[in-house]
Structure 1
Amino acid sequence: MNMTRSLSAVALAIGMTCGPALLAAEGTDAPLFFEGDMVSETAGCVLANQFAHGDVVVFRVRVLDATGAQLGDDDLASLTVSLPDGQSFDMHYGGHPPGDDLDFYWTVTWMIPDDYPTGTLGYHVTATGKDGATHDWAPFHMPPSTLTIIPG
């Protein structure tokens, strides 16, 4: 088994057993590893997957290379969250919480429009390297952890 497959297998096993989404990007000689979640901006960055119309979703993502080094805006050209309706949002790399900089990762916010359809909503993240190569990642597709829009 080559090193890429070994790293992919380990990442998949960790992602399935530890809860955070940690998966190797497919189709690349240099895998990237993604950790991501969603929090509520209005509830003080509390982990959530259910959001009502008018709520602000904060997508948070950390990207690591095969050595475990974190990749920021000096390393990647962009990181983008895409929704199935075609909307996409450029993420920004920085310290969090603002002013304290206890941790560094990529974020973007999205306010759910009042007329947005309710139900589960898949999304995916695309990392674009400085060389133009892209790596895609999507969180788990299980309803309890999928972004869910509820009436509100």
Structure 2
Amino acid sequence: MHIRATRSEDFPTLFDLRARTRENAMSVAELAARGITPDSAAEALHTGLVRGWLCEVDGQIVGFASGDRDGGEMLVLAVLPEYEGRGIGRALLAKVTAWPAECGHQRIWLSANPDSAVRAYGFYRHCGWVATGELVDGEEIMVYQPAG
């Protein structure tokens, strides 16, 4: 397992991976409808507004995560289903949560499906995220509150 910073040339693969996740998969077309394209992602990376990390296993990208510098938001965490349960999501999440803190954010947050039957529900809570009770577009806002 190798974690490294995301590069702009990774985006076509990351967009394909995002469409193949077990839950909350989004196709290239669905992301484009939200204004998220490989080009817009590369531009955000280039300007420093967004930073991301990915995980490679045997040279294959199997997961990625990214965060927003200005808002302190954890934007996305995606891992291929066959690589779930190996600590990849947790390792990527650690990278993404550390960066906004380094940028001075006191509040690091994300939006997630509030359905307790969804894997992310338990995963985020287990990793130190706490629901705020706030809902935006049907998703709950969670803040990172590390133990200690």
Q: TM-score, normalised by structure 1?
A: 0.30
Which structure ranks higher in relative contact order (CA pairs < 8 Å, sequence separation ≥ 6)? 1
Q: Which has the higher helix share?
A: 2
Q: TM-score, normalised by structure 2?
A: 0.30
Structure showing greater Rg: 1
Q: Which has the higher strand share?
A: 1
